[in-house]
Structure 1
């Protein structure tokens, strides 16, 4: 069961559901048994602190601990999907038909941008994905870490710091920090094989994962983890009834659902004891994920407007789109995401100082091919396979961290002082595709990267920080942090954080934090550039428009009013209440407010008039629409997290673990920058209504779950019911906005241990086969019923899923 530590009491009146959670928790507390064994509530954490032996119950910021049992408690083998089910504050929708976002799906913490959460592995910064989410999905414009590149078999547990932490960790830690702690040691191992399938007899999944260790002589160990899976696609598309003249009229031509994926990942973790004062450590990973996602079905016939003549009035005729596919075709975007990293370092103690020096390199490459498609400008000579190009993101870091505990006679505990410095270099590359993929209108489905798009860009930054923590009395502790960073591309920034905790007694404690933070605009946001075919609903018809995504410093972006990007600035405030009347029961209430200025956003798809088209054509850019990244939006996010856990041990009925969790989150617009003069003069808007409302109302307003884990002897069972709150998919025409009703989902699983080593597990996710609301027919947003569900749906739209797993441990 996930364990949440509070950082906040409400900053605004709490909703009725919060009150009900409190009543539920109080009722369970009345039954608490003081002789229950210690649970994860007493776990030692390493995230957000430099002190030794800091427990979650003593933390000044809210920290969740997600253990192995929770990571393996569903049928999913994807880390982000699992986190989305056990963390009420994390949203992981499943977009379809969104190009590269189908292959590398973004996750949100507290409704903020996916790249506003920092991901660590064993406390070291993880590199971001090369993919930029430029389509109309949640997280549009972000280039976050690919959580699904990290195999579940390698993870011991995960610590989630739900608080701003830029002063401690640097850029990106606005919404919080996800620290993935790897399994360690040579002893023991496990292996598991799994199989699953959806109710509609598609999406069949086969998985194999294993983890084991071995000794490196007498003083060291290495641990190896492997995950391999093969997942078939799902399809929930409706029948194509757009044109009765089509050869496949009335059939399902589109593929709308999860893509076909084949991930394989290897993770190593190792350590060697050199002497009593120095240890060497290293961990590394390498993985590939092949994904086959479907673009939009291309009909066999295409409408052509015929001008009037003296004898024939103006009319529409349908002609063959391409002789290569006389019955129409479905372009497939076949990608390979390659992910690798290595971290190595030395740590030890000298003169009372704990020190750690490390080297960290990580990279992610995304290569895209198009199959079963054509370049219409090449006619019958068009190939059906195209290499569309590649994206690559890499980072190199050197870190030095030192910490020491200083005894202070007047304090009940030592003062921990931590100092550190970091050097980081980042590079971002775009590689061009083959000529046929981009010439003319390019390959249908995804026009390739052109030589003019290709290039490599880099930057570096240096940072220093100081952190002080002290237990002043047995009841009161406090900490402060200060960090200064200097970037080669946009200058200097300084972040600060202060926090405190006061325990009124052994049962009730209160804590608070306040911090400033920042997020540097990524290189991808500064330099990503491509021309693609986007679809826009015009007069109830999905119309293809060539759209240019321009680097913010390019002449094309400048012609449309672009200015250089700067860092996002954040202010985080939280107040938290922890109630722990016994070792087997705890309730936490965390409220927070996050203000972010100068948020980096991808602008609207601006349909250009002839004046602007001509201006860009002089630069050799032939597009009908354009967009670029900009700092234009200020927002305020207010929310509350509530979690109550209770463990009940019985003599005859076994052990029960109950968990109730609730998140309420609201993002509001505070300011939008003035529209650039060149755009206003041409009747265009840089930040449109849809861009704003995607940020403010596109994520579920709340999420609630109740979970029960039961175990006795060799038997175990788990039941989780989750309510995903309502959300709105916005349009620029307010009349076309659609608000989706809340969705209740029930997951059940059971397991049995056979002998000493074997365990069998079977389960059903979404037992009641619940689907989200269908997309309205208004404005033809569902593409004539072909795309019946929204990619914003937080639990996807695949329906009931059956699975079984067999595991062996030693």
Structure 2
């Protein structure tokens, strides 16, 4: 339940293209979405584009992950599949408008949500970033999701460069539902089952307490090719007879196996003259994915432990928890919202079916490789009211103060996960992921204080405007001031023009400031994949200081957007919004520098134990341009029921304007920001994406057909070979039948025609094992999937 004091005001409302019957009713009433103090009659009455997706719409898709369901509902939201990318297999990156995952701010009930402790390191979209784990929030807890596709740092502070995702939790006082879902891929793997539900209770005389829970289990999928390589040492110069019986499906390239449990609640009750509210939740996920297979003849294997070789299994445990409480009340003519919240993400690295080859035959096979944790404390006080203004209009005024403290910690793994036991010169550390060493341990925090002022006004029935300014001061790098102005003019009842301009910023995350680790990565430098001890060093490390790597500065942005809105008299709506986002000093995780590159690097790395080094640096200026188109129409077909047609299309293109690398490392630009990183930043996500869906209601039967479009994208390997992966259409179909007023059954197929991405070039397939792109496949590479579910409402 979001009151006037909960959200800043200028973010306003725009197209709701994914609505169910409940949201259509809501749109006929006076609504408030993502911050506007001015109540709207419909979801296209605002100054900036906001997509409103109901919880029922998310559930009706049959997609079991919150982030994946959002991807299919909002084309500008990208949630690619990754495999064999360490922790990113468990917490996958997601992005908006082709920018980095950490350029999108996530709110829950209008309050800032904490980020995951994980840093994406291994080739995924947004390498070097962290993001909010949307899959930690169960779909059963969600009333609706609002996606603001516009810069909003002046409204919310750091991170809101690409936009804002606000997840509104369910708030019923009675009733609820329980759903059981099961399905599998056409290939017969990826079996999953999910049980989830919610229930509401009266709380006091006019309050509510709603709780939602989910249990979700999914088996792995595997689309690896057969391993043709020699597996065993030669026997008297001949192939070992076991070569003929070895199971060549040795790798795991596909979705991770996982088990997820989560519970969320939302509540509010009248206390005194105001409203006391609280919400939060906990999520616990255990996943399992594979690393590279270690052959029996590999020096990283110990035959006494694994005579046939082994596949190291990364089995991290991820916990997210959050709690917010606040009080809304009137102070004279002012609405006041005072709140405080705490969020924590913990990512514990665990290895199974592994070993530390340097310990020899006595090595253990399971390891605790260390723990990452990210804590966030937020406290805000917001004031708002309406003041009489010119033309007999009201001026909505809001101001407030916020305080945030972030703490990041790295705990070392158990000793066996990182030590060099000295056995036969073998590789040190747990295979699959080397444990964090004591030298990587850190426990650091930073805080910031922000103040803001916002105004919004409907000056005439045809003209609406808003403005905001925000000042924030950080304990580690200084201050920033950002602003935003917006306006809308209605030419008549059907046509309107809207526009915004704003500046923004993103403070370096505590993960980027303090993450440090030395791990074994496999790099192709022209002689096949070879293991290297690759060090990621934070900017306070000795290595970084010796090389002159300076501290991180905030990224700063300048954004402009303009849009056209059309509302026909027969219910057809169309919005077209163009945007430009220029970002200076984008933070990247650099490429590797090694002792062979320069004497300075050799000297700095001499005592570190690393073969190479990489850093977080402010290095790149970019400009992103694009356009979003949303259209919707409902047709009444008399005795044939009703048909809702919805179309959404997004185009975005990111270009690199300038590269500014550390001066001391001049001449090493190709190492620090090479073609691989350039391509990943500009072409690794589709520039074009869209969806066209039709939902037909006829009595107790509802059917849905959707066609989802994923445009071409490009990946580049370390040898400079670029591969373009072609555009694909993915079709989904489903049906739901209401057996009684309370009981319904559903069934459907996702990726009906069993579409796969283009295969990689032979030279990028690693002996034919990695047939499909394993880091940035926009719709995955599992093929078709069918499911069934039953729902009971009470």
| Kept in 1: contact 2:593–2:601 (CA 8 A) | no
Distance in 2 (alpha carbons) for counterparts of 1:537 and 1:645: 49
Distance in 2 (alpha carbons) for counterparts of 1:53 and 1:641: 21
Moved more, 602-611 or 231-240: 602-611
Following TM superposition, by how much is the alpha carbon of 1:321 offset from its aligned partner in structure 2, in angstroms?
4.7
Distance in 2 (alpha carbons) for counterparts of 1:295 and 1:170: 38
Equivalent in the alignment of 1:296: 292
Equivalent in the alignment of 1:659: 646
Distance in 1 (alpha carbons) for counterparts of 2:301 and 2:387: 80
| Kept in 2: contact 1:97–1:294 (CA 8 A) | yes
Equivalent in the alignment of 1:709: 695
Distance in 2 (alpha carbons) for counterparts of 1:793 and 1:433: 32
Equivalent in the alignment of 1:271: 268
1:215-364 to 2 correspondences below 5 Å: 215-243=202-230, 245=232, 247=242, 251-275=248-272, 277-302=273-298, 321-364=302-345
Distance in 2 (alpha carbons) for counterparts of 1:80 and 1:808: 24
| Kept in 2: contact 1:560–1:679 (CA 8 A) | no
| Kept in 1: contact 2:456–2:466 (CA 8 A) | yes
Equivalent in the alignment of 1:379: 360
Equivalent in the alignment of 1:430: 410
Q: Secondary structure at the residue paired with 2:316?
A: strand
Change (3 A) 1:452 1:788: same
Equivalent in the alignment of 1:693: 679
Q: Secondary structure at the residue paired with 2:587?
A: strand
Change (3 A) 1:244 1:490: closer
| Kept in 2: contact 1:483–1:495 (CA 8 A) | yes
Equivalent in the alignment of 1:726: 712
Q: Does residue 770 of the first structure (1) align with residue 755 of the second (2)?
A: yes
Equivalent in the alignment of 1:114: 101
The superposition leaves residues 631-685 of structure 1 with CA deviations (integer Å, 9 ceiling, x where unpaired) of 00000000000011000112111110001111111000000004533453x7963
Equivalent in the alignment of 1:787: 770
The superposition leaves residues 506-528 of structure 1 with CA deviations (integer Å, 9 ceiling, x where unpaired) of 00000000000000000100110
Following TM superposition, by how much is the alpha carbon of 1:220 offset from its aligned partner in structure 2, in angstroms?
2.3
Following TM superposition, by how much is the alpha carbon of 1:455 offset from its aligned partner in structure 2, in angstroms?
1.7
Distance in 2 (alpha carbons) for counterparts of 1:410 and 1:713: 49
Equivalent in the alignment of 1:806: 790
What is the TM-score with the length of structure 2 in the denominator?
A: 0.93
Following TM superposition, by how much is the alpha carbon of 1:540 offset from its aligned partner in structure 2, in angstroms?
4.5
Distance in 2 (alpha carbons) for counterparts of 1:123 and 1:713: 37
Distance in 2 (alpha carbons) for counterparts of 1:448 and 1:44: 51
Q: Does residue 45 of the first structure (1) align with residue 32 of the second (2)?
A: yes
Structure 2: any 5+ residue segments left out of the alignment?
Answer: 1-11, 18-22, 234-241, 421-427
Q: Secondary structure at the residue paired with 1:458?
A: strand
| Kept in 2: contact 1:48–1:165 (CA 8 A) | no
Moved more, 131-140 or 294-303: 294-303
Equivalent in the alignment of 2:237: none
Equivalent in the alignment of 1:615: 603
Equivalent in the alignment of 2:7: none
Following TM superposition, by how much is the alpha carbon of 1:72 offset from its aligned partner in structure 2, in angstroms?
1.1
Q: Secondary structure at the residue paired with 2:132?
A: coil
Following TM superposition, by how much is the alpha carbon of 1:44 offset from its aligned partner in structure 2, in angstroms?
1.7
Q: Secondary structure at the residue paired with 2:671?
A: coil
Q: Secondary structure at the residue paired with 1:263?
A: strand
| Kept in 2: contact 1:185–1:221 (CA 8 A) | yes
Following TM superposition, by how much is the alpha carbon of 1:74 offset from its aligned partner in structure 2, in angstroms?
2.4
| Kept in 2: contact 1:399–1:422 (CA 8 A) | yes
Distance in 2 (alpha carbons) for counterparts of 1:668 and 1:799: 32
Change (3 A) 1:543 1:287: same
Distance in 2 (alpha carbons) for counterparts of 1:187 and 1:507: 39
Q: How many residues align?
A: 758
Following TM superposition, by how much is the alpha carbon of 1:617 offset from its aligned partner in structure 2, in angstroms?
4.8
Following TM superposition, by how much is the alpha carbon of 1:217 offset from its aligned partner in structure 2, in angstroms?
3.0
- Kindly indicate whether structure 1 or structure 2 has the higher relative contact order, using CA contacts under 8 Å at least 6 residues apart: 1
| Kept in 1: contact 2:55–2:143 (CA 8 A) | yes
Distance in 2 (alpha carbons) for counterparts of 1:429 and 1:679: 33
Q: Secondary structure at the residue paired with 1:798?
A: coil
Distance in 2 (alpha carbons) for counterparts of 1:403 and 1:218: 27
Q: Does residue 738 of the first structure (1) align with residue 719 of the second (2)?
A: no
Following TM superposition, by how much is the alpha carbon of 1:225 offset from its aligned partner in structure 2, in angstroms?
0.3
Following TM superposition, by how much is the alpha carbon of 1:244 offset from its aligned partner in structure 2, in angstroms?
6.0
Following TM superposition, by how much is the alpha carbon of 1:38 offset from its aligned partner in structure 2, in angstroms?
6.0
Structure 1: any 5+ residue segments left out of the alignment?
Answer: 8-24, 26-35, 304-318
Change (3 A) 1:436 1:612: farther
Change (3 A) 1:111 1:616: same
Q: Does residue 143 of the first structure (1) align with residue 149 of the second (2)?
A: no
Distance in 2 (alpha carbons) for counterparts of 1:539 and 1:522: 35
Equivalent in the alignment of 2:425: none
Change (3 A) 1:295 1:405: same
Distance in 1 (alpha carbons) for counterparts of 2:87 and 2:353: 17
Following TM superposition, by how much is the alpha carbon of 1:606 offset from its aligned partner in structure 2, in angstroms?
2.6
- Work out which of the residue numbers 471, 485, 488 in structure 1 matches 2:458: 471
Equivalent in the alignment of 2:486: 499
The superposition leaves residues 614-645 of structure 1 with CA deviations (integer Å, 9 ceiling, x where unpaired) of 42454x31111110100000000000000110
| Kept in 1: contact 2:14–2:44 (CA 8 A) | no
| Kept in 1: contact 2:737–2:744 (CA 8 A) | yes
Distance in 1 (alpha carbons) for counterparts of 2:86 and 2:741: 47
The superposition leaves residues 300-333 of structure 1 with CA deviations (integer Å, 9 ceiling, x where unpaired) of 1137xxxxxxxxxxxxxxx975421110100011
Moved more, 92-101 or 787-796: 787-796
Change (3 A) 1:280 1:381: same
| Kept in 1: contact 2:412–2:441 (CA 8 A) | yes
Distance in 1 (alpha carbons) for counterparts of 2:654 and 2:399: 35
Equivalent in the alignment of 1:15: none
Equivalent in the alignment of 1:29: none
Moved more, 447-456 or 43-52: 43-52
Distance in 1 (alpha carbons) for counterparts of 2:537 and 2:625: 33
Equivalent in the alignment of 1:534: 521
What is the TM-score with the length of structure 1 in the denominator?
A: 0.91
